[in-house]
Amino acid sequence: MERYSNREEAGKILAEQLRQYENDPNTLVLALPRGGVPVAYEIARALHLPLDIFIVRKLGVPGHSEFAFGAIAANGVRVFNEDAIRDCHVSPEAIQAVTDSEMKELTRRESVYRGNHVFPVIKDRNIILVDDGVATGASLRAAIQALKKFQLAKLIVAVPVIDKSLYAMISELVDQFVCPLQVSYLQAVGSWYDDFAQTEDEEVFRLLKAARTLL
């Protein structure tokens, strides 16, 4: 495997490496929106598993938003990097302002994607966490930290492509890590796909709705 045609093909390839969870009533697929949803949909469809989303919003340092001092996730989970807060001199007021702003966007996405469907019970379940690729690992690490607060039975991460420098580090954080393509100097995830068109809100909503009809 040198590259993927699109996210759908990537999901089908990942599904083949996750066959041990096929038809398992205790396993749930969680996608990181938006790009992770088409990948996760193919996994859920192939393995006859339920699909949902786990929205994570990074909390960026004011003026340097690409550098995260924490993250917020579903059900009010908050994760803070105390070293980053100290080193970047992020004030309590700034922490609150950034958190409030990102919470509004998280709430908006929850409403758009999930509608009236509540977040599923995940305690004591196997969770397959899916994204379309990992370049820096910031969002994925935040999601892993947040999910661990839910006392899962097992946390499996499945991604199509990752930078080699991150593979070992992510592997140590989870129970199982499935990634067929580990590359040097990944730079942009999209460079490992022939088609990497942006996933829109409408497609996320459509795939989540379609997944509910498969079970």
Choice between 163 and 115, residue whose per-residue pLDDT is larger:
163
CB atoms near residue 107 (< 10 Å): 12
DSSP 198: P
Structural domains of the chain ordered from first start: 7-54+120-212 (3.40.50.2020), 57-114 (3.30.1310)
What pLDDT, on a 0 to 100 scale, did the predictor assign at position 190? Answer: 93
Average pLDDT for residues 61-89, to the nearest whole number?
84
Residue 196 near residue 190, CB atoms below 8 Å: yes
Q: Is 149 helix (H, G, I), strand (E, B) or coil?
A: coil
Residue 79, pLDDT > 90, answer no
In 3D space, the residue among 77, 79, 58 whose CA is nearest the CA of residue 67 turns out to be 58
Residue 136, pLDDT > 80, answer no
Q: How far apart are CA 71 and CA 59, in angstroms?
A: 5
Please give the mean pLDDT across all residues of the chain: 92
pLDDT in tens, 148-184: 889 999 999 999 999 998 899 999 999 999 999 999 8
In 3D space, the residue among 51, 71, 179 whose CA is nearest the CA of residue 122 turns out to be 51
> What is the reported pTM?
0.88
